[in-house]
Structure 1
C-alpha cells in the first residue's frame, strides 16, 4: 500500500485504524489538524453507515430487504452507488457491485479483521453476478434485484478519500493528503517538493517512491492483501464478475496516478481482473502506472514515477 515516506517540514499528521486498514491524514497547516480529523472521521462514519455490507444497520443492507422494489436512499448512498455504476461502465464491467453475494459465499462475510485465518468449508462454486446493469438508480430511487447484496468495496474507499480531501481543503483552507489503505487523494497546495509517497505493498515487495503534485491521487490494488483460506484454497477479494472467482494473480499489485482517486482505483482494480491485457489497456489511456508481476518483475509506463 502507498505510504507517506517522509513528512516535509511544517506539516502534521494523524493516523488511526478504520475499515480493517489505516487512515492517515496529513495537512500543511498543523493548526488545522484537529478540525480536519473531526471532518474525516465524520465522513468515514457516514460512509460506513451508508454502505457497509458487514453492518446489519447499514442503509445498504436495508435496501436488500426491499425484495426488488425501488427504495428512496440517502443522498450519500446515491452518490456511492452512482460512483460504483460509473466505475462499472468505465471498466466495461470489470468492477461490478453485484458481486457481494458471491464474496459472502466464498467466505468474505465479515469485516476482514474479523475473518478467521482458516475458515470452515464454504461453497467454492458460486452463482454468477447478476450484473451491474440490473441496478437502477433514478435520482435517489434505487432498485436492486431481489436477493442481491451489493458490494461497494471496489469504489467506496477511493470515493471517500477524494471526498475527504476536498472537504478538508475547503473547510480548513489547507493542503491535505488523505490515505485510506491503498487509496490516496490530495487537495489544496502541496508541500515544497510535492507529497513524497512510498509505493510498496509489504516489506518484501519492490518499492517505488513518487512525488505527487497538488491535486494528484494515487491508488494501488493488490492480489496479495486481504486474503483468506477456504477448504485449503487461498482466496483474495478481487473477483472477476464473469466467473465470481478471484482474479488470476498475473499481477501482485497495480498502481495508477490520476486526478481523482476513484478513477485511479477503477483502473488498478480492473487491471488485476484483466491480467495480461492490462498493460496495453493502461497504455491506451496514457496514465502513469506501475505493475508488479507475480514473479516480482516491475513494469512501468505513462511517465511513472508520477
Structure 2
C-alpha cells in the first residue's frame, strides 16, 4: 500500500508559478557517496557551466567540513593546541551552531564531537577495526568529547579546543550541503529543482506540469512488505533519513550499527531501524533524524512531538517492523 504526505502549507501553484523549460539531471560523487540534481532548465542555461559551479561549491564546503580531508578547516581545528580558541570559517561555524542546538534539545543524543569514538569503532577515516574496542578505550574516547566544551561564541564566530575534541559532522554535513547547493541553484535563477546527496533531499518549486517533486521515503530493506510505502511532495521541503542498515560492523553473530550513543559511547540497540525527518532545512532534518534515532522509539516520538517535527519512525515490535508517525507527519497524510 502507498500513502501520500503533503506539506500542510503550500505556496500558490498556478500558471504563473510553474517553471518553464525541460527537466535535466546532473550527478556525480562527493563525500564518499553520490549526488544528483534534477532541475527545470531555463532557456539558454549551459548545464556544464552549472556542473562546474556545483563542483566548486562542493570543493568549498569540503574544505571546511570534511573529516576525511587532512587540510580541511575541521581537521585543522582537531589538531590545534589544547586551550586555544579558534576563529572558524562561516560554514563550519554555522553547522556547529546548529549541531550544538540539536545536541542541547536532545539532551546529548546528538554530538558533533564524536570523532574519537567514531574512529575507535571503525567508522571514521582510519577504517574498519579487527576487534571490538575495550570498554576502557570507549570510556576514554567518550571522555575526550563533549559538545558543551566547544563553548561557541557567535560574536567572534569562534570555538574552544580544550584538548582532545575531535569534530565529526557526518550526521549533519550532507544536509547542510544539500541546502547550500539548493541556494546556489536558486541564485542561478533555477527556482524549481530537487537536490539529493546520499539520500538526503530538498525540493523547491514545481515542475512545468505544476506538480511537486515527489519522492519515496527511505525505509530499511527489512521493512519491505511490512511497512507501507510513503511518498512525499517536497514542495519547499527536505527529507533526511538515519538508519543503521547502510553502515555496520559484523563481529561474530552480532551486528553493530554506525549510530553511536554519545551518552554511552556504544552503538545503539534500542529497537529503532530508521528515522526520517521532514523540514524546510535539510541541515536540521539531517541532525534531528540522527538525534531521534539515538533516543529510541518512545523518547524519539515524544521529542518529535515536543519540537513540532514531522517524523516517521520504523520500529521493531516483537518479530515485526511497524511504523510510527509524529503528530505533524500524521497531519500531512492525504
Name the TM-score, length of structure 1 as normaliser.
Answer: 0.85
How far did residue 304 of structure 1 move? 4.5
Unaligned runs of 5+ in 1: 1-8
Please, which moves more after superposition, 215-224 or 281-290? 281-290
Report if aligned partners of 2:204, 2:234 keep a CA contact under 8 Å in 1: no
- Specify the alignment match of 2:262 in structure 1: 241
Matched residues in 1 for 2:251 and 2:73: separation? 29
How far did residue 169 of structure 1 move? 1.0
How far did residue 91 of structure 1 move? 2.5
Matched residues in 2 for 1:86 and 1:33: separation? 37
- Specify the alignment match of 1:4 in structure 2: none
- Specify the alignment match of 2:159 in structure 1: 142
Report if aligned partners of 1:209, 1:305 keep a CA contact under 8 Å in 2: no
Are 2:104 and 1:89 aligned?
yes
Matched residues in 1 for 2:265 and 2:49: separation? 42
How far did residue 158 of structure 1 move? 0.7
- Specify the alignment match of 2:302 in structure 1: 280
Report if aligned partners of 2:217, 2:232 keep a CA contact under 8 Å in 1: no
- Specify the alignment match of 2:63 in structure 1: 49
- SS of 2:48's partner is helix
2:240 to 178, 195, 219: 219
C-alpha distance after superposition, 1:278-303 (max 9, x if no partner): 12222333433221113322223423
> How large is the RMSD of aligned CA atoms in angstroms?
2.5
Please, which moves more after superposition, 230-239 or 68-77? 230-239
Matched residues in 1 for 2:213 and 2:131: separation? 45
2:314 to 286, 292, 302: 292
Q: 1:282 to 1:76 in 2, by over 3 A?
A: closer
Q: 1:256 to 1:73 in 2, by over 3 A?
A: closer
1:158 to 175, 182, 190: 175
Matched residues in 2 for 1:178 and 1:51: separation? 19
Report if aligned partners of 2:274, 2:313 keep a CA contact under 8 Å in 1: yes
How far did residue 251 of structure 1 move? 1.4
2:276 to 243, 255, 261: 255
Matched residues in 1 for 2:146 and 2:289: separation? 20
Report if aligned partners of 2:205, 2:212 keep a CA contact under 8 Å in 1: no
C-alpha distance after superposition, 1:155-188 (max 9, x if no partner): 1111111111112112233312111113112234
Report if aligned partners of 1:154, 1:266 keep a CA contact under 8 Å in 2: yes
Structure 1 consecutive aligned stretches of length 4 or more whose deviation exceeds 6 Å: none
Q: 1:187 to 1:72 in 2, by over 3 A?
A: same
- SS of 1:293's partner is strand
- Listed as ranges, the matches of 1:86-235 within 5 Å are 86-110=101-125, 115=127, 119-125=129-135, 126-127=138-139, 128-129=142-143, 130-138=145-153, 139-190=156-207, 192-201=210-219, 203=221, 205-206=223-224, 208-229=229-250, 233-235=254-256
How far did residue 90 of structure 1 move? 3.1
- Specify the alignment match of 2:94 in structure 1: 79
C-alpha distance after superposition, 1:185-230 (max 9, x if no partner): 2234455221110123455543624232431111111121211335
Larger radius of gyration: 2
- SS of 1:246's partner is coil
Matched residues in 2 for 1:88 and 1:190: separation? 37
Matched residues in 1 for 2:270 and 2:56: separation? 36
Matched residues in 2 for 1:305 and 1:45: separation? 38
Name the TM-score, length of structure 2 as normaliser.
Answer: 0.79
How far did residue 96 of structure 1 move? 0.5
- Specify the alignment match of 1:3 in structure 2: none
Are 2:291 and 1:270 aligned?
yes
